[in-house]
Structure 1
Amino acid sequence: MTELLQKQGVRGQLHRPEGDPVAGLVLTHGAGSNCDTKLLRAMAEGFVERGVLVLLFDLPFRQRRASGPPHPSRAAEDREGVAEAVAVMRDFGPEPVWAGGHSYGGRQASMLAAEVPAGIDALLLLSYPLHPPAKPEKPRTDHFPDLRTPAVIVHGSKDPFATTEEMESALELIPGTTILVEFDGARHDLAPDKFPVVDRAVAAMFDLLQRREK
């Protein structure tokens, strides 16, 4: 069941599983879109089938205007938007609560997890934008050494924001547990209708959950 949600400054879609949820997941979008994308809808459907309560939500920059990229000077507001979405999910009661998103949205979630380690139980980072296209000399990894939250990183080998080798090297900077899910030939959009992105992402997140419970 899907319903529109607007609560505590959070705007999005709540996707409910049948029965009591086994976990909660808040997912957001990249710099050029909103929460109603093919990738995020596919992820919501896949996680709901496994009993996860899923919230797809728009970041504050997208709530302010329907199009256009975020401004770097207001990125902290977008991280606060992730924190508010996590708080809304916790109000619904599922445990654990996971957070993440596509590209820019995933980056902001990971930065929030580095700043507030206890706030998020695990991360799902879809096409993490490791550096601007064709600019590997500008890595977006300053917070990686402070990231202790377990994370699943879903990456396509043809993503212009990072090569597989660059991603593997960057993940060595993270002290927390990481699982890299790689798709040969996938680009930044991950093409969930072409690659088994959802199935493998769901499996990897539940693998993290099992590791935590041991």
Structure 2
Amino acid sequence: MPDFLIDRAVAPRAVLVLAHGAGAPMDSDFMQQVAEGFCRAGITVYRFEFPYMRERRLHGTKRPPNRQPELISAWQQALIEVTAAETLPVFIGGKSMGGRMACILAGVEAVSAVVCFGYPFHPPGKPDKTRLAPLQQSRCPVFIAQGSRDKLGSAEDIADYQLGNQVTLHWLEDGDHDLKPRVRSGFTHDQHIQGALRAATGFIDTYL
């Protein structure tokens, strides 16, 4: 059973369940900022951790991510609990691996839409080893906020990928995998995160 971090909006119009990326927990700075941003925008956010991350939190030992079936099982359990507790439309998503698993889940479960931050389109340095199937097979719309120089899927890397009409891409100029731009770009990390949040919130509103 997952332990949730819940950011409840004052007058919520939707619920978003978010999963973390491979290397950082549900209360990382990035996840915290994103959850708080959605909450301020009227979207209640549930965050949960995959089993390997809960073990790391308990024992302090770094562990690799669980195998995909275990990750999907954890996602399904989280979704079951949230939909049992909430009557508002439920959206799912996450950071990097968490967002990818949400897209896989959307291929078998009925959810309103998926919101991803930094989708891992391919392993680092291997743009030919694509991870497009979850996007192409999704049964619902998918929003992706992506840094244009993300090492797991830059604008140049994915220019020729066939993503499908259900995918909406929002690019953050010069952003890396955490959407962070270089100083010389003239943008700040906070600006990019806030821009991604505005675009993601607008996307969610489209499906309410």
User: TM-score, length-normalised on structure 2?
Assistant: 0.85
Distance 1:82 1:16, change over 3 A: same
Alignment match, 2:145? 154
Distance 1:95 1:40, change over 3 A: same
Alignment of 1:19-58 (within 5 A): 19=11, 21-58=12-49
Does residue 87 of structure 1 match 2:77? Answer: no
Alignment match, 2:132? 141
What is the rounded CA distance, in whole Å, between the counterparts of 2:80 and 2:147 in structure 1? 31
Aligned residues: 198
Distance 1:108 1:16, change over 3 A: same
> Which of 170, 194, 207 is residue 202 of structure 2 equivalent to?
207
Q: Percent identity?
A: 31
- The residue matched to 1:54 in structure 2 has which SS? strand
- The answer to whether the Cα contact below 8 Å between 1:159 and 1:186 also exists between their aligned partners in 2 is yes
What is the rounded CA distance, in whole Å, between the counterparts of 2:140 and 2:205 in structure 1? 15
- The answer to whether the Cα contact below 8 Å between 2:17 and 2:47 also exists between their aligned partners in 1 is yes
Provide structure 1 residue ranges, at least 5 long, that are not aligned to the other structure: 1-8
Alignment match, 1:179? 168
Alignment match, 2:92? 99
- RMSD, matched Cα: 2.1
* Most deviating of 190-199 and 79-88: 190-199
Alignment match, 2:116? 125
Letter in 1 for 2:144: I
Dislocated runs of 4+, deviation >6 Å: none
Name the structure with the higher strand share.
1
- The answer to whether the Cα contact below 8 Å between 2:135 and 2:142 also exists between their aligned partners in 1 is no
Provide structure 2 residue ranges, at least 5 long, that are not aligned to the other structure: 182-187
User: TM-score, length-normalised on structure 1?
Assistant: 0.83
- The residue matched to 1:18 in structure 2 has which SS? coil
